[in-house]
Amino acid sequence: MHKFATSLRRLTADGDKIGRCSRRWFSQLPQRQLPETADVSAGAPIIPPFDYSPPAYVGPTADEILRKRKEFLSPSMFYLYKKPLNVVHGKMQYLFDENGRRYLDGFGGIATVNCGHCHPDVVQAIINQITTIQHSTILYLNHCIADFAAALAAKMPGDLKVVFFTNSGTEANELAMMIARLYTGCQDMISLRNAYHGNAAGTMGVTAQSNWKFNIVQNGVHHAMNPDPYRGVFGADGEKYAKDIDDLIQFGTSGHVAGFIFEAIQGVGGIVELAPNYLPHAYNSIKKAGGLVIADEVQSGFARTGTNFWGFQNQGIVPDIVTMAKGIGNGIPLGAVVTTPEIAKVLTRRSYFNTFGGNPVCTAAGHAVLKVIERENLQENAHVVGSYLKQRLIALKDKHEIIGDVRGRGLILGVELVTDRKLKTPAKTEILEIMDMMKDLGVLVGKGGFYGNVFRITPPLCFTKEDADFLVDAMDYSMSKL
Amino acid sequence: MAVHRIITNRKTFNCFVNTKWVSNLSSVRWFSSVQPPELPPFDYQPVPYNGPLADQVFEKRKKYLGPSLFHYYQKPLNIVEGKMQYLFDEKGRRYLDAFAGIVTVSCGHCHPEILRAIEEQNKLLQHATTIYLHHAIADFAEGLAAKMPGNLKVVYFVNSGTEANELAMLMARLYSGNLGMIGLRNAYHGGSAGTIGLTALNTWKYPIQQGEIHHVVNPNPYRGVFGSDASLYAQDVQDHIDHGTSGRVAGFISETIQGVGGAVELAPGYLKLVYEMVRKAGGVCIADEVQTGFGRTGSHYWGFQTQDVIPDIVTMAKGIGNGLPLGAVVTTPEIAQVMAQKIQFNTFGGNPVCSAGGLAVLKVLDKENRQKHCADVGSHLITRLKNLQQKFDIIGDVRGRGLMVGIELVTNYKDKTPAKAETAVLFEKLRELGVLVGKGGLHGNVFRIKPPMCFNKDDADFLVDALDYSISKL
């Protein structure tokens, strides 16, 4: 496949005849105009072939939608690209716009669509369940929630086997924080600067990037120094960063804390993998202060890191509480909190209830996702393809000065762009241009980091080496055109 | 009604034990208490169930879902299939669903048009987020905004009522620049740390920090100290503002008919008075329509309209998607502008499938005239229940409107002592007869009748007859 793709690229050297042919073959363009593309001049990389034609789209156009969005939706709702993209259909690792043009989805709906868009098994599981019963609540029994909880627990180490279902990562983290505070009787929560954990009042407190924090009362939250190997003052020395936790506890709290919450690889923060050896030390400090350790696996979970199922497993600790969402249901609104039976008891003090949480359809989808990940060896694929992709990106770094750092693991990768490698000045405007050029070439990636200068590459885990090549080639091509 | 006067107590009634009375004027029916009533017919066979049975599921739940997970009934009911207003257990037995998964299944279980919309969208795109465009979220937002009065037309999509109320609270505090929120005692607004503060029923409140919340006297016509006198209750709000706050507040939030609190409809005229006080103190008014929205009250599309007010923020969930995990906050462009200061993002919120489902719900409810239907069936139901109240002292109060009805049970009609044990017994009896209702109120002594809106008069009759039969057997 790889050879075929490269030879195809070479063939396009003499005009883009073949490029146009393959585009026509793979996308239906009956009544609509040809897809508008930027330059598809000689040498531009070509999207890997995909034996699938999307159905024709006859719905509202991008402009109509944008107008309605401006009128009826939040004014703070943003979109990517100068000319926002109307994504109407998805199939595995590809997305299609209103003109039927295919794009490589390098972002996965923000690390969410792990199995692939409209994965047949997941869609079937949803349709089977939705035609049986969508919703009844846990007031009645239904096997879906129980089966999925058991399957999820089976993926957990240690004594982590009690599951609470929610509808989002925010709800999961809110619940985790409440559990920690109730269990310990303490209020103080510690999170890392640059973290993202959610948008409700409590989670907004532990979220630690000013862009995402409204001016509200933050109760008992302490933001520890981020063990950022690239930008952090201690480089990759995890232990040095961990001392900041001790410091915060000794001076900023009563000496006892409710807990510590972290992402093994910070997502919104720009794919920052915590410095090696950081977590075990942080874990000890928190334990000494009687706190619980909460692993936010919303982005790093469900095989995405390739080496392990959960991000925290790459860091050598077993947390007390694990939260998850995003990839758990391949895009269906679902979240979960997993903890130990002992800690779970704390919620028996009162009644805790979540109306939609654990409904038959979402749990059936979640269960299907676990099966797909296993059957299709997605973790292995994430590891193999991810490592390959990372290698190619590192090679690209040698070619382009603008790449300051390449990091991450498996299929949660980040490429940080800087205008000056020594000063690490964020390339805030350049990244937007490159991102737009890549989109014109047919590659969609995400953006993150405090300065918005990090490409986030978190595609569906069925991503192939050919896709990886296409992505890197598109990035290469775009950077060359800057 | 002459019929009522004859049958004022069980003793007199037993003389008529084998008689059926049908009145043209109020469709009063009296079933014999010898034979249990029968479910209305339903031309549908459930799919034979081959999955895990109740005991197995229950064991797994205990093991993997934590000890805090509760359930209805001594012997928990394994619900495996649903169709319109009926549910089926593992044996294929049909039940009348009078609770709709807690006021959630608005159109009916597995309503074909909703299913079609969901399935079609599922095959195209489940999720991409709002960083890209998609028509479903825009169309649905437009559809929702069209149902709103005043300047309420900016929609935020979230995944639950809890998330919606969290966001509403955030908006109120940011917009007003004040911190204090006012909520009603007996309210329920969510299960997250923030909304637990607003929720005002001790069984649901964990001992955590609540932030600045002032819980005011509940304008409860049945149990409240001021009866139905809205102005006296409203004065309590002014009192709290004057003495418990800086004089400025962030906002006020309420349900129009309290759900978890036991279908308590706020004393008439209350919201008008309170909204004015709150706005004078710089606060915004939030209407929690999670349970009362979408025509359920029969008289109006939104609960707050029954109180003749226009809030600044409206939150909704539950019925909005017929069971899809979906919630929304609708507010004015003015308030929305304040939210534009920072990034406000919800990964799953407004996803194509839920938006398509939500839009289908709006269309179905309109096409099937569900609001009017709720008014018709609801008044029939309430009338029959009020008649039943004449017959049984245990029925302390019958309240609500449309298909949002509460029946409060008491052991002493005058003292209004909650009949907790009897409610539990009747709850089980109803299940045995094939009627699944909900329970609520701080003391768990209120039956909540909030079925899918396709519930019809025959279903209502069956429900009342079953209740009649069960109470007779107490």
pLDDT confidence band for B9 (50 / 70 / 90): very low
pLDDT attached to residue A35 = 43
Domain boundary among B317, B352, B368: B368
> So where are chain A's domains?
62-114+378-480, 120-376
Please report the pLDDT score of residue A34 as a whole number.
37
Q: Tell me the chain A residues in contact with residue B158 when contact means C-beta distances shorter than 8 Å.
A: 168
A182 touches chain B (CB under 8 A): yes
CB contact under 8 A, B138 and A141: no
Q: Which of B133, B154, B174 sits opposite A87 (nearest CB)?
A: B133
Say whether A143 and B52 touch across the interface (CB within 8 A). yes
Q: What's the number of CA atoms in the CB half-sphere (13 Å) around residue A451?
A: 16
Residues A340-365: tens digit of each pLDDT: 999 999 999 999 999 999 999 999 99
pLDDT at A41: 63
What average pLDDT score do residues A24-42 get?
A: 42
- CATH of A120-376 among 3.30.70.100, 3.40.710.10, 3.30.9.10, 3.40.640.10: 3.40.640.10
B116 shares its domain with B219: yes
Closest-CA residue in chain A for B132? A85
Given A55, A164, A331, which is nearest B66 (Cβ)?
A: A164
Q: A147 to chain B, minimum CA–CA distance in Å?
A: 8
Structure tokens at A187: 């209020």
Closest to B125 (Cβ–Cβ): which among A90, A139, A145?
A90
How confident is the model at residue B17, as a pLDDT? 42
Indicate if the pLDDT at residue B11 is higher than 50: no
Q: Mean pLDDT, to the nearest integer, of A210-238?
A: 95
- Name the pTM for this structure: 0.90
The answer to whether residues B303 and B405 belong to one domain is no
CATH number for B177: 3.40.640.10
The residue among B12 and B334 whose pLDDT is bigger is B334
Residue A2 has pLDDT above 60, yes or no: no
Kindly determine whether residue A351 and residue B122, on different chains, have CB atoms separated by under 8 Å. no
C-beta atoms of B65 and A149 within 8 A: yes
Q: Do the chains contact at A162 and B337, CB–CB below 8 Å?
A: no
Set of chain A residues whose Cβ sits within 8 Å of the Cβ of B179:
217
Task: Tell whether B438 is covered by a domain.
Answer: yes
Helical packing angle, A143-154 and B54-64, nearest 10°: 40
Task: Using alpha carbons, list the distances in angstroms from residue A409 to A311, A413, B171.
Answer: 10, 6, 38
B279 and B293 share a domain?
A: yes
B219 shares a domain with B174? yes
Q: Is B466 domain-assigned? A: yes
- Work out the average pLDDT over B218-234: 97
ipTM of the complex, rounded to two decimals: 0.89
Give tens-digit pLDDT for B82-107.
999 999 999 999 999 999 999 999 99
What are the tens digits of pLDDT across the range B439-461? 999 999 999 999 999 999 999 99
Run of H or E residues at B162: helix B161-176
pLDDT, tens digit, 9 for 90 and up, residues B331-356: 999 999 999 989 999 999 999 999 99
The DSSP secondary structure of A190-223, one letter per residue, reads EEETT----SSHHHHHH---GGG--S-PPPSEEE
Asked if B295 and B438 sit in the same domain, the reply is no
Q: Please report the DSSP string for A359-387 in residue order.
A: -HHHHHHHHHHHHHHHHTTHHHHHHHHHH
Q: Take residue A438 and report the two structure tokens written for it.
A: 């890549």
A432 in contact with chain B, both atoms CB, cutoff 8 A: no
Q: Is A197 on the interface with B (CB under 8 A)?
A: no
Q: What confidence tens digit (pLDDT) does each residue in A133-190 have?
A: 999 999 999 999 999 999 999 999 999 999 999 999 999 999 999 999 999 999 999 9
Q: Which of A72, A201, A332 sits opposite B166 (nearest CB)?
A: A201
Total domain count, chain B: 2
β-strands A221-224, A272-273 pairing: unpaired
Q: A443 by DSSP, 3-state: which?
A: strand
| Chain B residues close to A88, C-beta within 8 Å | 124-125, 134-135
Q: Is residue B7 part of a domain?
A: no
Domain annotation covers residue B420: yes
| Tokens at A442, concatenated | 């047919």
From A31-35, A327-331, B413-417, the region with the lowest mean pLDDT: A31-35
Q: Domain residues for B145? A: 112-368
Same domain, B231 and B357: yes
Percentage of residues of chain B with pLDDT beyond 70 = 93
Tell me if B194 and A163 make a contact (CB, 8 A cut-off).
Answer: no
Are A297 and A322 in contact by the 8 Å Cβ rule? The answer is yes
Q: Could you say which residues from 307 to 336 on chain A have a Cβ atom under 8 Å away from some Cβ of chain B? A: 325-326, 330-334
Give contacts of A 342-361 with B, CB under 8 A.
Answer: 344-345, 347-359, 361
Shared domain check, B81 and B132: no
One domain for residues B261 and B272: yes
In a domain, B299, yes or no: yes
Nearest to B138 among A72, A136, A362 (CB): A72
Query: Does residue B197 fall inside a structural domain?
Result: yes
Mark whether B191 and B327 lie in a shared domain: yes
Closest CA of chain A from B136, distance in Å = 9
Residues A59-70 have pLDDT tens digits of 999 999 999 999
Is B129 part of a structural domain of the chain?
A: yes
Closest chain A residue by Cα to residue B126: A331
Size of interface A-B (CB pairs under 8 A): 381
Confidence of residue B30 (pLDDT cuts 50, 70, 90): low
Considering only CB atoms, which chain B residues are within 8 Å of A89? 124-125
pLDDT over threshold 70, residue B1:
no
Separation CA B450–CA B160 (nearest Å): 19
Choose the closest CB to B193 out of A143, A169, A178: A178
Per-residue pLDDT band at A74 (split at 50, 70, 90): very high
* Cross-chain residue pair A132–B47, CB shorter than 8 Å: yes
CATH superfamily assigned to domain A62-114+378-480: Aspartate Aminotransferase, domain 1 (3.90.1150.10)
Tell me which residue in B52, B174, B339 faces A74 most closely, judged by beta carbons.
B339
Residue B79 to residue A164, Cβ atoms within 8 A: no
What is the tens place of the pLDDT at every residue in B136-190?
999 999 999 999 999 999 999 999 999 999 999 999 999 999 999 999 999 999 9
**Cross-chain Cβ contact B64/A146 below 8 Å:** yes
pLDDT, position A18 = 37
Judging by beta carbons within 10 Å of its beta carbon (0-12, 13-18, 19+), is residue A64 exposed, middle or buried?
A: middle
Q: A169 and chain B: CB distance < 8 Å anywhere?
A: yes
With CA atoms as reference, the chain A residue closest to B46 would be A132
Would you place residue B29 in the very low, low, confident or very high pLDDT band (cuts 50, 70, 90)? low
Average pLDDT, chain A: 92
To the nearest whole Å, the CA of B209 is away from the closest chain A CA by 8
- What pLDDT does residue B31 have? 59
Q: Report pLDDT for A422.
A: 97
Domain boundary (B348, B368, B388) is at: B368
Pair B118, B258 in one domain: yes
Mean pLDDT of A294-309: 98
- Is B209 in the same domain as B137? yes
User: What pLDDT score was predicted for residue B357?
Assistant: 98
Beta strand B79-83 with B86-89: parallel, antiparallel or unpaired?
A: antiparallel
A404-450 pLDDT, tens digit each: 999 999 999 999 999 999 999 999 999 999 999 999 999 999 999 99
Question: B13 falls in which pLDDT band (50, 70, 90)?
Answer: very low
The SS3 of residue B250 is coil
By Cβ distance, the residue of A211, A219, A354 closest to B343 is A211
- CB atoms A168 and B169 under 8 Å: no
Tell me which residue in A135, A201, A349 faces B101 most closely, judged by beta carbons: A135
**Of the residues B368, B387, B416, which one is the last residue of a structural domain?**
B368
B121 and B89 part of one domain: no
How far from B119 is each of A331, A474, B24, B357, B364, CA to CA, in Å?
A: 15, 35, 45, 9, 16
* Residue B184 Cα to chain centre, angstroms: 16
Q: Is A91 on the interface with B (CB under 8 A)?
A: no
pLDDT computed for residue B5 by the predictor? 43
DSSP string of B180-203, one letter each residue: -EEEETT----SSHHHHHH---GG
pLDDT band at B278 (very low <50, low <70, confident <90, very high): very high
Is B26's pLDDT higher than 80?
no
Q: Is A178 on the interface with B (CB under 8 A)?
A: yes
**CB of A40 less than 8 A from some CB of B:** no
Q: What is the pLDDT of residue B32?
A: 58
At B2 the pLDDT is 44
What is the reported pLDDT for B34? 73
Alpha carbon distance A24, A34 (integer Å): 9
Query: Does A267 score more than 90 pLDDT?
Result: yes
